Amino acid sequence: MKFADLHIHTYFSDSTFSPEEVAARACECGLSGIAICDHDSIDGIAPCKEAAFPMSVEVIPGIELTVERQDAEIHILGYFIDPEAEWFRDKLREMQAFRIDRIHKMVEKLKNAGINVNAGDVFDLAGKGAVGRLHLAQAMLKTGKVNGFREAFGKYIGFAKPCYVSNARFSPKEAIEVLRKAGGVPVLAHPGIMHKDEYIPELIEYGLKGIEVYHTDHGASVVKHYEQFADRYGLLKTGGSDCHGMGKGKALIGTVRVPYDLVERLREQSEKSG
Ligand code: AMP
Ligand code: ZN
Ligand code: FE
Ligand code: FE
């Protein structure tokens, strides 16, 4: 059987792994395919593809966008987006610039909350990647004022917490339209984290084609629930580890995998809409 891990980050967003390292590890754990789904960036795709090609690991171009509802943060994956589309690249550049601005705003809020994070440290942690809250949380830990990600997100920078600043640049409808226009198949990421099934039918109306049923943060009962949900609505059931390198403590690549057949279904879906 051939398997794929369809949700992997690189250091072009908030993973510590380079695209080359991702490729090597994918090969090591016997994967036939991986999808690179960085937050607001596609820069990891080409180098990963190049490194993975001699190892016969297919790299599916993907992305992870953030949208919001008043009481929920929603992540939407796009599979088989065209990484060469110039208008799309321009949009992503804008989004990355917005992310920089957002970090300055969050650093300011944290300062007012008594946590003095150096913005420069956050940007150093991000390196050439799209800067985000995982980098900010890492810099918060370094101050010694918070003792873990749980506290950093739970008390300060998690969705709707006092030092949170939104990163959502589109409405859910716009995000799905952008992904489709870029040739991508829109899939709802980790619905078990969002925990707001009532928003899914609306996303389906806009063109959502799948949900990420299998994910590191989904326990057995959550998986079962979303398998049934996907069947009820005729959605593809995707899955991936959401590996952030060592960014969240351990390398998860390959720990969540789906049969390779799913890659073909996503490809067909992308060709249909393209
Ligand atoms: P951003 O794209 O900057 O909003 O950051 C999103 C990333 O922050 C997610 O991909 C996770 O890596 C991380 N994140 C968000 N909420 C939490 C949380 N409660 N605990 C740990 N990591 C989180
Ligand atoms: Zn992330
Ligand atoms: Fe996510
Ligand atoms: Fe992710």
Distance CA 185, CA 187 (A): 6
Using one digit for the tens of pLDDT, what is the confidence trace for 93-129?
999 999 999 999 999 999 999 999 999 999 999 999 9
Using one digit for the tens of pLDDT, what is the confidence trace for 24-65?
999 999 999 999 999 999 999 999 999 999 999 999 999 999
Mean pLDDT of the chain: 97
Question: 273 alpha carbon to ligand 1 midpoint, in Å?
Answer: 30
Q: What is the pTM of this model?
A: 0.97
Q: Nearest CA to 41 among 147, 152, 130?
A: 130
Q: What share of the chain in percent tops pLDDT 90?
A: 96
Residues surrounding ion ligand 3 at CB below 5 Å: 75, 189
Question: 7 alpha carbon to ligand 3 midpoint, in Å?
Answer: 9
Average pLDDT for 13-25: 98
Q: Nearest CA to 217 among 190, 236, 239, 243?
A: 190
Helix axes 119-126 and 86-112, enclosed angle (nearest 10): 140
Distances (CA, A) of 67 to 49, 218, 271: 28, 21, 25
Ligand 1, CB within 6 Å, residue ranges: 14, 39, 66, 132-134, 149, 153, 158, 167, 244
Average pLDDT for 151-177: 97
Residue bearing the CA closest to ligand 1, atom 18: 153
The pick from 153, 190, 241 for probing ligand 1's pocket by mutation, whose C-beta has the most ligand atoms within 8 angstroms, reads: 153
* pLDDT the model gives residue 122: 98
Q: Which range is least confidently modeled, 1-5, 232-236, 244-248, 270-274? A: 270-274
